[in-house]
Amino acid sequence: MKVTFFDAKPYDRLYFEPMLADAGIDVKFCEYRLSPETAALAAGSEAVCIFVNDDAGAETIDALARAGVKLIALRCSGYNNVDFDAAEGRVRVVRVPAYSPAAVAEYAAGLMLATNRKIPRAYARVRSGNFSINGFLGFDLEGRTAGVVGTGRIGKKFITICRGFGMKIAAYDAYPDPSLDAEYMPLEELERRADVISLHCPLTDETRHMINTAAIERMKDGVILINTSRGGLIDTTALLDGLKSKKIGGAGLDVYEEEEAYFYEDLSNEVITDEELLQLLAMPNVILSSHQAFFTEDAMRAIAETTVGSLLAFRDGRELENELRFERGGELAFAGN
């Protein structure tokens, strides 16, 4: 079996290369992201392996199908970059539904603490010889309310962490888990009650811009907003307005709505032209990182193991437990769930 691995970074090769070799899979690592223009690089491969910012839209899938590709293996849990209408009946799609929920939840908690207590600014100030604490006032998390939007594996881990701080929990999910000991409520009510709001849901047509101007207006003054899921959950223009008006006290963001052009690349010698990104980077109450919440040894190992397992199952004609597909009526189905 041959696989073309797009958007390959050194850390990808560290975990994937030995596993693929042990599995007897012939792999071609490409530094380029998958796009309609680069899809031809997969000619001769039965599968491609892609990540969050690769383009698996309709035009790309047409090119992959012409190149003979039969499987797209997402080495992530999100799938908003795949056009399933174009893929149906032509190219099968698998993902990694869970790798290390703790990794993302712990990072979200880190962003919550760092944003509230201004830790990055404090570190930078002391490094420059300034030991003033003026401007670093935060609030106790104990007794405050954490609004958790999305109570899947990661959301549940985040709830556990917040409870360790003595926080109250307000939860929202389109499909509530009756076994979870948490108070579910409508999203609008959560927005009104939460002191910290953390997003842990996938990006779909229904969730895109779920945090918008109206949602921000409902929030408490000084609310902290955390996003380790997908940038498109937040309307960036509305977020900036909320930060400028001080309605939002701080934002800890590991994702950005237009991150595809920037994240995972070294652009330190380039001029950034995205005006909204520049505004976020300039704000003292915003922490922005480069979609790294998943990035632990444990998660990378699990991602590689699950992805290689799916590739082997496809090669051997076995059931694809982690397949994403459209069923009758156009609804997305999750195999193995």
Instruction: Count the Cβ atoms, other than its own, within 10 Å of residue 333.
Output: 11
How far apart CA 24 and CA 1 sit, in angstroms, is 8
Q: What are phi and psi of 218, to 5 degrees?
A: -75, -20
How far apart CA 197 and CA 171 sit, in angstroms, is 10
Non-local (6+) Cβ contacts of 79 within 8 A are 93, 95, 202, 324
**Could you write out the DSSP letters of every residue in 148-201?**
EE--SHHHHHHHHHHHHTT-EEEEE-SS--TTS-SEE--HHHHHHH-SEEEE--
Residues acting as catalytic residues: 230, 259, 291
Q: Nearest-CA neighbor of 299 among 160, 104, 156, 109?
A: 104
Is residue 199 a contact partner of residue 233, using CB atoms and an 8 Å limit? yes
Is residue 3 a contact partner of residue 49, using CB atoms and an 8 Å limit? yes
